[in-house]
């Protein structure tokens, strides 16, 4: 009878061990499932965030294109007037009401996009196209800064044809880059809408 009892106890212990192992396996499975679901949610959140970042960058480029279009003609007209002053070597051609109408370009969305956790979820080719568009805008901004500096040198002074020639030279560069920037932004926006 002791042998029988020992076998029953052994069998009961095995059943308990098997039960504990099954319970442990279920706990491990539940933890792994929870981790997988959490990882999936995080991945989904980052993909959604990348979509919002992409939309913000495209909206910013569209707004920049609008600014370039708004200011293109006035800048060309100013360059024409200053070109006439330089050609005639006569300041009286200039008139009194010259206005420098530069676009208000933004890079905020692009700067945020580059440093965000969404960056790895943006398409590489798209990032390259966008970076090239912003490079053109950087060149434009640099030339704009030089025009502003040249015009600031005229404040409180009687302008000379030399001063006007400096401003004219920078405006010529701006108008050239202006056309390139418009074209580049149009290309990028058209490609992104496909």
The per-residue DSSP string of 27-78 comes to HHHHHHHHHHHHHHHHHHHHHHHHHHHHHHHHHHHHHHHHHHHHHHHHHHHH
Domain-embedded: residue 164? yes
User: pLDDT confidence of 129, banded at 50, 70, 90?
Assistant: very high
Is 163 part of any domain? yes
For residue range 130-167, list pLDDT tens digits in order: 999 999 999 999 999 998 888 888 777 777 888 888 88
The mean pLDDT of 81-90, rounded to a whole number, is 85
Judge whether residue 101 has pLDDT over 70: yes
Residue 59 lies in a domain: yes
By residue range, what is the domain housing residue 167?
50-193
- Segment 81-90 long-range contacts (CB within 8 Å, at least 24 positions apart): 82/164, 82/167, 82/168, 82/171, 83/168, 85/161, 85/164, 85/168, 86/161, 86/164, 86/165, 86/168, 89/161, 90/161
Tell me if 28 is assigned to some domain: no
Q: State the pLDDT at residue 145.
A: 92
In angstroms, rounded to a whole number, what is the distance separating the alpha carbons of residues 5 and 72? 99
State how many domains the chain has: 1
pTM of the model: 0.78
Is residue 119 a part of any domain in this protein? yes
CATH code, domain carrying 136:
1.20.120
In this structure, is residue 70 part of a structural domain?
A: yes
- Reply yes or no on whether the pLDDT at 100 is more than 60: yes
């Amino acid at each position: 009878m002791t042998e029988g009892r020992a076998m029953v106890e052994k069998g009961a212990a095995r059943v308990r061990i098997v039960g504990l192992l099954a319970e442990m396996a279920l706990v491990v499975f539940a933890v792994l499932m929870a981790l997988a679901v959490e990882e999936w949610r995080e991945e989904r959140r980052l993909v959604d965030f990348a979509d919002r970042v992409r939309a913000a960058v495209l909206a910013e480029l569209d707004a920049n294109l609008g600014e370039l279009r708004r200011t293109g003609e006035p800048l060309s007209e100013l360059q024409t007037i200053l070109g006439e002053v330089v050609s005639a070597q006569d300041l009286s051609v200039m008139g009194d009401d010259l206005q420098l109408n530069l676009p208000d370009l933004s890079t905020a969305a692009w700067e945020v996009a580059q440093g965000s956790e969404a960056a790895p979820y943006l398409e590489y080719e798209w990032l390259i196209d966008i970076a090239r568009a912003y490079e053109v805008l950087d060149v434009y901004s640099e030339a704009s800064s030089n025009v502003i500096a040249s015009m600031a040198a005229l404040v409180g002074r009687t302008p000379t044809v030399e001063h006007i020639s400096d401003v004219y030279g920078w405006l010529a560069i701006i108008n050239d880059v202006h056309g390139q920037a418009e074209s580049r932004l149009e290309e990028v926006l058209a490609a992104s809408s496909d």
